[in-house]
Amino acid sequence: MNENSSVTSIDYAPSIHESPVRYFLRAFWRHRSAAIGSVIIILFILLAVFAPVITPYQYDQRSSALLASPSASHWFGTDDMGRDIFTRVIYGARISLQVGFFAIAGSIVIGSFLGLIAGYYGRWRDTIISRIFDILLAFPSILLAIAIVAILGPGLNNAMIAVAVINIPAFGRLMRSRVLSVKEEDFILAARAMGMKNSRILWKHILPNYWSPILVQGTLGFATAVIEAAALGFLGLGAQPPQPEWGTMLSDSREFIQLAPWTMIFPGLAIVCTVLGFNLLGDGLRDLFDPRMKE
pLDDT band, very low/low/confident/very high, at 2 (cuts 50, 70, 90) = very low
pLDDT at residue number 108: 92
Give the separation between CA 103 and CA 167, rounded to whole angstroms.
8
pLDDT at residue number 283: 87
pLDDT at residue number 159: 92
pLDDT at residue number 56: 85
Q: 219 — phi, psi (to 5°)?
A: -65, -45
Residue type at 208 in one-letter notation: P
**Does some domain include residue 169?**
yes
| pTM of the predicted structure, to 2 decimals | 0.83
Segments in the chain forming alpha helices (H): 3-11, 20-30, 32-49, 51-54, 85-121, 123-138, 141-152, 156-182, 186-193, 198-201, 211-234, 246-252, 262-289
**Does some domain include residue 192?**
yes
Tell me the average pLDDT across 46-60: 90
Q: Which domain holds residue 165?
A: 25-293
Give the separation between CA 200 and CA 61, rounded to whole angstroms.
55
**Does some domain include residue 184?**
yes
pLDDT at 260 over 60: yes
**Does some domain include residue 10?**
no
**Does some domain include residue 15?**
no
CB 144 within 8 Å of CB 165: yes
Return the higher-pLDDT residue of 175 and 12.
175
Helices 20-30, 262-289: axis angle to 10 degrees equals 140
Number of Cβ within 10 Å of residue 51's Cβ equals 18
Return the higher-pLDDT residue of 202 and 123.
123
Rg of the chain taking only CA atoms, in angstroms = 23
Q: Please, what is the average pLDDT of the chain?
A: 84
CB 84 within 8 Å of CB 61: yes
pLDDT at residue number 214: 85
Tens digits of residue pLDDT in 150-198: 999 898 899 999 999 999 999 999 888 888 877 777 777 777 777 777 7
Into how many domains does the chain fold?
Answer: 1
**Does some domain include residue 16?**
no
pLDDT at residue number 167: 93
Return the higher-pLDDT residue of 11 and 53.
53
pLDDT at residue number 7: 38
Tens digits of residue pLDDT in 207-258: 777 778 888 889 999 999 999 999 999 988 888 888 888 999 998 888 888 8
Q: 236 — phi, psi (to 5°)?
A: 80, 15
**Does some domain include residue 278?**
yes
| CATH number for 256 | 1.10.3720.10
Number of Cβ within 10 Å of residue 157's Cβ equals 13
pLDDT band, very low/low/confident/very high, at 20 (cuts 50, 70, 90) = low
**Does some domain include residue 231?**
yes
Sequence-distant (≥ 6) Cβ neighbours of residue 179 within 8 angstroms: 115, 116, 118, 119, 120, 206, 210
User: Residue 106: which of 175, 162, 174 has the closest Cα?
Assistant: 162
Residue type at 240 in one-letter notation: Q
Give the separation between CA 59 and CA 86, rounded to whole angstroms.
9
